[in-house]
Amino acid sequence: MAGQYAILGVEGPHDQAFVSKILQLMGFREFKGKKSKLNPFWFQFIPTYPKKQLYVRVDMPSILFTDDLSVAVYAGEGTNLKSRFPVLLRNHPPYHQDISAFGIIADADDKEPRGLFRNITKHLKSCFLISRRNRELHRPVL
């Protein structure tokens, strides 16, 4: 059972698979889908059925873990990530109150990276209370 939790938001399933593979190369083990083996912290991610649209991709993130850290890699449907991720965090308070780290991995596409960062930050600001004094600790990695 991991002691710390982190969430990474990515745009799509290919990004999710890529980031998951990188974490595995770093020594993380992959959760294989058996509910009894899932860390209870992530239970809110388990999808409920039936959905209105049966062919919509399941919202279950990839879960990877070490002895000390459990990471959820959440795919937010492309550019919808910036709107879906804050909703997820607001609907499940432990996912923004009890995590040690979170990150967004997004394609800049044809946008300037700093502008993209500002746009995503604007959407996430309501989920996290970051004091002005602590802002220097929360600089983006570009």
As a whole number of angstroms, the distance between CA 142 and CA 112 comes to: 11
Q: Give the model's confidence band at 1: pLDDT under 50 very low, under 70 low, under 90 confident, else very high.
A: very low
The residue among 84 and 9 whose pLDDT is bigger is 9
pLDDT at 84 over 80: no
pTM value? 0.77
Q: Residue range 124-128: average pLDDT?
A: 70
Structure confidence at residue 72 (pLDDT): 93
| Domain of residue 110, CATH code | 3.40.50.10620
Q: What are phi and psi of 48, to 5 degrees?
A: -105, 145
Domain of residue 82 covers 4-35+42-138
pLDDT at 102: 83
CB-based contacts of 125, cutoff 8 Å, min separation 6: none
The count of structural domains within the chain is 1
Q: Cα 74 to the chain's mean position, in Å?
A: 4
SS (H, E, C) the chain: CCCEEEEEEECCHHHHHHHHHHHHHCCCEECCCCHHHCCHHHHHHCCCCCCCCCCCCCCCCEEEECCCEEEEEEECCHHHHHHHHHHHHHHCCHHHHCCCEEEEECCCCCCCHHHHHHHHHHHHHHHCCCCCCCHHHHCCCC
**Average pLDDT of 18-28?**
96
Higher-confidence position of 68 and 97: 68
